[in-house]
Structure 1
Amino acid sequence: MHILRPIKDSDFDALRQIAAESGHGFTSLPVNDDILREKIQRSEHSFAKSLCSPQDEGYLFVLEDSATGDIMGTTAIEAAVGMTVPLYHYHLGKTVHHSPTLKVYNTVDILSMCNDYTGSSEICTLFLREPYRKGLAGRFLSRSRFTFMADHSTRFSDTVIAEMRGVSDEQGHSPFWQWLQEHFFSIEFPQADHMVGLGDKVFISELMPKYPIYANLLSKKAQDVIGQVHEKTKPALRLLEKEGFEHRGYVDLFDAGPTVEAKLTNIQTVQASHIATVNICQVEQAQSFAISNQQLQNYRATFTDHVCYHSHENVIDISKDVAAALNVSNGDNVRIFRL
């Protein structure tokens, strides 16, 4: 059985392995022991807090194979980004150069640096290890974040964003960054990427151009990747688009990958999920559902095709094994949705 739960200190080695496997551009999990331990501790403190509004919390989860104890993947939610460390984006807009006298009318794309998403909640750090990328695990890992947010909505913002990894090659070189490096920086993309992952963002305000950039002045390769995602990120983007996330012109400063957004209450999984009452029994029918126990520090979620939902009674039959995995008893409420 696959169990999604809050990370704990004993998961450090697994998290470090995931960080190593995630590769370039995955800035939320740098291969740095101190940073990774800090992320685990911050997550444990966030789950333990009593809150009624989003602050500077980070909730980090792992997906565990209960049969083997292996950690299959991870995902996270930032409650309110940009509150302590600025969150920068470029916004892709337009400017018009018009001369009635010369009968010239030109529309030009421009990139303007901004902090428009300050205070938004961010889903991030979604990574499923290669051996586990078959079946429904990835979809479950992605969608369960939204039901957790729905159950604890006062801890999160109304606006939810996701920064998608932009285009880079196998060596971690980004065409967009190469243009910025040539004109404004003297460091390679992997180094800049790593510095951001370590939380060192001072150089952004020091060296980034202060004025809007005319996109048509960029190299052709740099222009072509604005708003495009890394090949390995396309499945994650498709899942988010099905949830109702949209790209509104905001892109990453370094690789120009798109940031997508949605209102929490409009997310498809939030709207499709609902609360049901647990009935522990020998399940006679087979239906497929994802189920979470709605708890906080002891949060558990799983998916199984050995349940039976009775819509007219709003009761879900689950086996003893599933109940034990979720730490629920007869009569408890759970949140469910169909995968």
Structure 2
Amino acid sequence: MQILRPITSNDFAAFKQIAIESGHGFTSLPVDDQLLQEKISRSERSFTKQLAQPFDEGYVFVLEDSDSGEIMGTTAIEAAVGMQVPLYHYHMGKTVHHSRTLDVYNTVEILSMCNDYTGCSEICTLFLREPFRKGLAGRFLSRSRFVFMADHTERFSETVIAEMRGVSDSQGNSPFWKWLQEHFFSIEFPQADHLVGLGDKVFISELMPKYPIYANLLSKDAQAVIGQVHEKTKPALKLLEKEGFEHRGYIDLFDAGPTVEAKLKNIRTVQRSVVATVNIANDVSGKARAISNQGLANFRATFTDKCSYDSTTNTLNMQPCVAQALELSNGDSVRTFSL
């Protein structure tokens, strides 16, 4: 059975291996022992905090094969971004150049640096290792974050964002960054990307152009990737779009990948999931469902067809092995949705 749970210090070796496998452009998982250990420690603290509103918590989960103990992937939620370290984006807008005398009317796209998403919650760090990219695992890993947020709304903002990985080549070079580097920087994209992953963003405010950039002045290659996602990120973007996430013109400063957003209450999984009462029974089966025990520090979630939902009694019948894996007893409540 595949179990999603909070990360612990015992998962460090697997977490580092995931960081290595994630490759260039995966800013939230830099291959740095100290930073990865700090992420784990911060997550452990976040799950045990008593709070009434989000501030700077970070919740990291791992997907574990309960039979082998192998860590299959990871995902995370940032409770409120930009509260400690500024979060920068470019916003795509338009400006009009009009001369009645010359009978000229031109509309030009511009990129303006901003901090508009400060305080929003962010879903991030979604990575499923190559051998496990089959079946429903990826969909489950993506959507289960939303049931956790639905059960602990006081810990998250009403607006949820996701920064999607932009276009870069196999060496990690970004066409968008190449233009910025030529005109404003003297460091390579992988180095800049690594610094952001380490949390060192001072150079952004120091070196980034303070005034809007006219998009038509960028190189053709740079213009072509604005708002586009990396080939490996397309499946993740499609999943989020099905959940109701939309791109509202915000892009990453370095690779121009899109940031998408949605209101937490409007997310499809939040709206379609139900809270039901547990009934443990033998020989139960049905369509595959995701199930969360609604816990915090003891959060557990899985997906299985060894269950069935009775909408008339609002009961989720499940086999004993499922209840045991989720640390549930008869009469407990769960949040569940169909996969």
The TM-score with structure 2 as length reference comes to 1.00
Is residue 2:108 matched to residue 1:96? no
Which residue number corresponds to residue 3 of structure 2? 3
Aligned pairs (5 A) from 1:121-270: 121-270=121-270
Residue identity opposite 2:5 in structure 1? R
Helix, strand or coil: the match of 1:335?
A: strand
State the alpha-carbon separation in 2 of the partners of residues 260 and 287 from structure 1.
Answer: 31
Deviation at 1:288, TM superposition (A): 1.4
Q: CA separation in 2, counterparts of 1:160 and 1:332?
A: 29
Question: 2:332 — aligned with what?
Answer: 332
Cα contact 2:290–2:303 (8 A) shared by 1: yes
CA separation in 1, counterparts of 2:231 and 2:20?
18
Distance 1:173 1:214 in 2: 22
CA displacement, residues 195-218 of structure 1 (integer Å, 9 cap, x when unaligned): 000000000000000000000000
SS in structure 1 of the partner of residue 191 of structure 2: helix
Aligned length: 339
C-alpha deviation, 1:284, in angstroms: 3.6
- What's the secondary structure of 2:313's corresponding residue? coil
- Asked whether the 8 Å contact 1:283–1:317 carries over to 2, the reply is no
Q: Secondary structure at the match of 2:249?
A: strand
Aligned counterparts of 2:284 and 2:177: Cα–Cα separation in 1? 57
Q: Which amino acid aligns with 2:336?
A: I
Query: Unmatched 5+ residue regions in structure 1?
Result: none
2: CA distance, partners of 1:288 / 1:35 = 37
Asked whether the equivalents of residues 278 and 329 of structure 1 are also in contact (C-alpha less than 8 Å), the reply is yes
1:275 aligned partner = 275
Which moves more between the two structures, 227-236 or 311-320? 311-320
Instruction: Output one character per residue of 1:5-34: Cα deviation in whole Å (capped at 9) or x when no partner.
Output: 000000000000000000011000100000
1:329 alignment partner AA: S
Measured in 1, the distance between the counterparts of 2:317 and 2:274 equals 15
Q: Which letter maps to 2:99?
A: S
The secondary structure found in structure 2 opposite 1:287 is coil
Q: Structure 2 regions of 5+ residues with no counterpart?
A: none
Q: Which residue of 1 aligns with 2:29?
A: 29
SS of residue matched to 1:269? helix
Paired residues for 1:307-318 under 5 Å: 307-318=307-318
**Aligned-pair RMSD on alpha carbons?**
0.5
Q: Distance in 2 between matches of 1:189 and 1:25?
A: 9
The structure 1 segments of at least 4 consecutive aligned residues displaced by more than 6 Å after TM superposition are none
Are the equivalent residues in 1 in contact too, given 2:284–2:318 (CA < 8 A)? no
Structure-1-length-normalised TM-score: 1.00
Corresponding residue number in structure 2 for 1:110: 110
> What is the Cα deviation at residue 306 of structure 1?
1.1
